[in-house]
Amino acid sequence: MVHIRSGLIGLFFLICFSGPAWAQADKKFIRQGNRVYDKDKFPESEIYYRKALDKNKESGDAVFNSGDALYRQKKYEDAGKQFIESHRMNEDKDKKSSSLYNLGNSLLMANKLQESIEAYKNSLRLKPDNPEAKYNLAYAQDLLKEQQQQQQQQQQNKDNKDQEKKDDENKNQDQEKNSQDKENNDQQQDQQQQSISKEDAERLLNAIANDEKNVQEKVKLAKAAKARVKTVKNW
């Protein structure tokens, strides 16, 4: 579970009864924003913090508190921008550390794990004894490791599916090639059979023709013999 230092809102300003009127005005709006924030009326609290900034654009406390209000509305990207600005505006080490801590929370909730890890580390560099920052840092690191493992598994599954698809395509190509080869072989065999049948037919015709020629020769010889016989007999 992510810890957010909402309690810092009440710590990020001091009530001053001296100084310019505009300075007192922005503190007034901050106090009003804190009251409605504590009642979980986060959009209303944001409005008061914005009003405080209208009175004093250099109020780092109003910037930080508006970031908290945006975070509670799950506007994590906008909240992160406010915490970055709060870190820039505040000179106090604890306030800068808290800004970075809440920036880490915003990035974590936006699933920007690597960025959130860096924010927590920077927060701890300024305030090493913050147990919540240590906890959230370890939590974000575990999430990042788990996410990377899932991405690796998804990539492996994709590679396996791609290889299976490639194998199926190669198998289909081999089957098509075998089918085509068989068809070509069958055609060649049919052509050979047709060619053999034609040669057999020619030999058969030649044999018949030869037989017919032989028969005709025999008939001629028989007639000639018969004629000779008659001639001889007539003598």
Q: What is the pLDDT of residue 209?
A: 66
CB of 5 within 8 A of CB of 102?
A: yes
Tell me which of 93-102, 117-126, 153-162, 219-228 is least confident: 219-228
How far apart (Å, rounded) are the C-alpha atoms in residues 156 and 225?
101
Percent of the chain with pLDDT over 90: 53
Helix 42-55 and helix 21-38, axial crossing angle in degrees, nearest 10? 170
List C-alpha distances in Å: 159 to 96, 165, 166, 226: 46, 10, 10, 99
CB of 30 within 8 A of CB of 62?
A: yes
Domain ranges of the chain: 8-129
Q: What is the pLDDT of residue 68?
A: 96
The number of helices, as runs of H, and strands, as runs of E, in the chain is 8, 0
Please state the rounded mean pLDDT for residues 11-37.
66
How far apart (Å, rounded) are the C-alpha atoms in residues 72 and 4?
10
Q: Is 105 helix (H, G, I), strand (E, B) or coil?
A: helix
Confidence (pTM)? 0.62
| pLDDT over 90 (residue 178) | no
First to last CA, the chain: 145
In 73-130, which residue ranges form alpha helices assigned H by DSSP? 76-89, 93-109, 113-126
Q: What is the pLDDT of residue 14?
A: 27
Say which amino acid occupies 57.
K
CB of 29 within 8 A of CB of 52?
A: yes
Residue 96 CA from chain centroid, whole number:
37
Residue with tokens 């599916």: 161
| pLDDT over 90 (residue 70) | yes
Residue with tokens 């820039």: 88
Name the CATH topology of 8-129: 1.25.40
Half-sphere exposure for 134 (CA within 13 Å, toward CB): 5
At residue 104 the predicted structure's pLDDT band, cuts being 50, 70 and 90, is: very high
CB of 110 within 8 A of CB of 77?
A: yes
Residue from 162, 161, 109, 157 nearest 136 by CA: 109
Please state the rounded mean pLDDT for residues 49-57.
94
Q: What is the pLDDT of residue 171?
A: 83
| pLDDT over 80 (residue 32) | yes
